[in-house]
Amino acid sequence: MASFMDKIIIFDTTLRDGEQAPGASLNPAEKLEIAHALVDLGVDVIEAGFPISSRGDLESVKEIARSVKGTVICALARAVKGDIDAAYEAVRHAKRPRIHVFLATSKIHMQHKFKKTEDEVLRLAVESVKYAKKFCADIDFSPEDTTRTERKFLFKILKEVIAAGATTVNIPDTVGYTEPDEYADLVCAVKENVPNIHKAVISVHCHNDLGLAVANSLAAIKSGARQVECTVNGIGERAGNASLEEIVMALRTRKDIYKGFNTSIVTANIYKTSRLVSKLTGFAVAPNKAIVGGNAFRHESGIHQDGVLKERSTYEIMRPEDVGFSGSGIVLGKHSGRHALKERLKELGFKLSDGEVARINTRFKELADKKKNIFDDDLISVVQDEIKLVEPVWILLGFEINSGTKINPSAKVDLKYKNNISSAQSNGDGPVDACFKAIDKATGVKGELQDYRIEAVTKGKDALGEVILKLKAKGKVVTARGSSTDIIEASVRAYINALNKIESL
């Protein structure tokens, strides 16, 4: 059971394990923006990356360590000196640095991946923790594939790494194999059979291969785990990780079950952070996703609607505003001034300069001329579309299309490149294809479209549309978005945003 107000440490690995999800790729500026958002969200630890994996990842973690304050900045390393050196180089300028060392301990991994004995793995684990401890006081150790590791060996290796200086020991369900009762029993067994476990924090890291990552994490908390590794929107390798927002809101909503547990998460920032991560990774949030999905607080059944109108708690166990969904939805119209826009943006949590507000105001006025009511989600989409994380190389000046059922679609685009105007025309299978081919001609860059999606930001015939696409060019793959009430314009904006990201890499 929990003692009075036990703190659950939220260890966010969106920038490390989350980015390892197939198709997710973030540039340094995007990682930095997410890191700042995670601080505003209130996470305790940010696992910023795996520095040995690439020079770019090392530099990205280093910039986060230098720039992001108010939380622990952690870097991942294998039980190898070179990895640990890179991890320390990356986090050494953080006010509160951490090195996270991992080493597989299950028989299947030791025999087939490492071809090492238990004694060899134990020696490597202890040596790596001792080596990391020379650089950093805060050391997290993970015996990879814990849930398929023989318990006797697990207890032994945890005892030895704690003695070597590990301050946190993780119990990862690396392949999402376990279930709640089994996982809770494992955490209890660790507490009972590792004599020096009181000297370290027990952490858990659950994957969602069987859809049990959140359930397993919550079961582990009840059994004594005090750190949870998770990601925004549950993104991650294969089926993903435990979802940060689901864990936090379960602890908050079911205080009758999780008595005495608390986190530092500012729940009103959950939705905004979810949108940001979705936008930058290109991973859409499913409408039925718990907590942050578009349908999470919508009621279509007549019985449900009647009940909610009479008393919200009949069908809502959380208030939308608790996680950052807007209360009224409609915020501004075409007659709203810049001051009202600036105040609403501030209420939505955006910290923008006067120049950025001016740019948003220009897009806002254009949008207000096309649709009657501007919703909060419209504003969020415009801000995320307009506030560029990279200096644009190509700027859209305008485009024209000619299309119809009996017409071969054609497009003309005008782009600004430095102080020059570059124009081009092309035909295509449809107006969007024609625009993309015209942009390729105008820029001289051949893009290969790998994914393309359209989403309505809000409801109605005049809804703002977001286009999310993945583009490969110059040997690089990026994800980008564009928004407009015109889906062709949104597509053009997204394509140009992608080319600008490629030029910045």
pLDDT single digits (tens) 36-78: 999 999 999 999 999 999 998 999 999 999 999 999 999 999 9
Give pLDDT tens digits for 415-436. Answer: 999 889 999 999 999 999 999 9
Quickly count helices (H) and strands (E) in the chain: 16, 18
418 Cβ neighbours under 8 A, 6+ residues apart: none
pLDDT greater than 90 at residue 246 = yes
Residue 31 has pLDDT above 60, yes or no: yes
Instruction: Report the distance separating Cα 432 and Cα 427, nearest Å.
Output: 10
**pLDDT band per the 50, 70, 90 thresholds, residue 501:** confident
Under the banding of pLDDT at 50, 70 and 90, the label for residue 303 is: very low
- Which of 93-107, 204-218, 244-258, 381-395 shows the lowest mean pLDDT across its residues? 381-395
Residue 182 has pLDDT above 70, yes or no: yes
Model pLDDT, residue 343 = 83
Summarize the confidence of residues 162-179 as an average pLDDT. Answer: 96
Compute CA distances 147 → 193, 204, 294, 452, 505, whole Å. Answer: 16, 11, 34, 38, 39
Over range 242-267, report the average pLDDT: 96
Confidence of residue 309 (pLDDT cuts 50, 70, 90): very low
pLDDT number for residue 274: 94
Q: Is the pLDDT of residue 298 over 60?
A: no
**Per-residue pLDDT reduced to its tens digit, 380-406:** 888 877 776 667 899 999 999 999 998
Residues in CB range of 338: below 8 A, 6 or more apart: 357, 358, 361
Is the pLDDT at 456 greater than 70, yes or no? yes
pLDDT, residue 326, reads: 64
d(CA 344, CA 46): 29
* Res 301 pLDDT > 60: no
Give the sign of the dihedral formed by CA 470, CA 472, CA 476, CA 481. negative
- What mean pLDDT is predicted for residues 461-468? 85
Taking residues 90-104, report their average pLDDT.
97
Amino acid at 367: L
Lowest-confidence region among 5-14, 53-62, 340-349: 340-349
> Residue 504's pLDDT is what?
81
Residue whose tokens read 């119809």: 404
Strand partners, 334: none
Q: What is the pLDDT of residues 148-164, one digit of tens each?
A: 999 999 999 999 999 99
Cβ count near 497 (within 10 Å)? 25
Query: What does the pLDDT read at residue 299?
Result: 41
HSE (side-chain half, CA atoms, 13 Å) at 157: 31
pLDDT at residue number 306: 43
What are the φ and ψ backbone dihedral angles of 348, each rounded to 5 degrees?
-80, -5
Are 34 and 277 contacting, i.e. CB atoms less than 8 angstroms apart?
A: yes
Q: Provide mean pLDDT across the span 266-288.
A: 89
Residue 347 is predicted with a pLDDT of 76
The more confidently predicted of residues 30 and 317 is 30
Orientation angle between helical segments 244-253 and 270-281, nearest 10 degrees? 170
What pLDDT does residue 300 have?
Answer: 43
Q: Identify the pLDDT of residue 312.
A: 56
Angle between helices 213-223 and 244-253 (to 10 degrees): 50
Q: Which of 148-157, 230-239, 307-316, 448-457 has the lowest mean pLDDT?
A: 307-316
pLDDT of residue 99: 98
**DSSP calls for 62-117:** HHHHHH--SSEEEEEEESSHHHHHHHHHHHTTSSSEEEEEEEE-SHHHIIIII---
Res. 268 pLDDT band, cuts 50 70 90: very high
Report whether pLDDT(302) > 50: no
User: For residue 305, what pLDDT is reported?
Assistant: 37
**Residue 165 gets which letter from DSSP?**
T
Cα dihedral value 493, 61, 20, 115, nearest 10: 160
Angle between helices 81-91 and 118-133 (to 10 degrees): 30
Q: Helix axis angle, 354-370 relative to 376-386, nearest 10°?
A: 130
pTM here is 0.82
**CA–CA dist 297, 320 (Å, integer):** 6
- Per-residue pLDDT, averaged over 276-293, amounts to 88
For the chain, the average pLDDT equals 89
- pLDDT in the model for residue 307: 47
Q: What interhelical angle do 376-386 and 338-347 show, nearest 10?
A: 90
- Higher pLDDT among residues 49 and 109, named by residue: 49
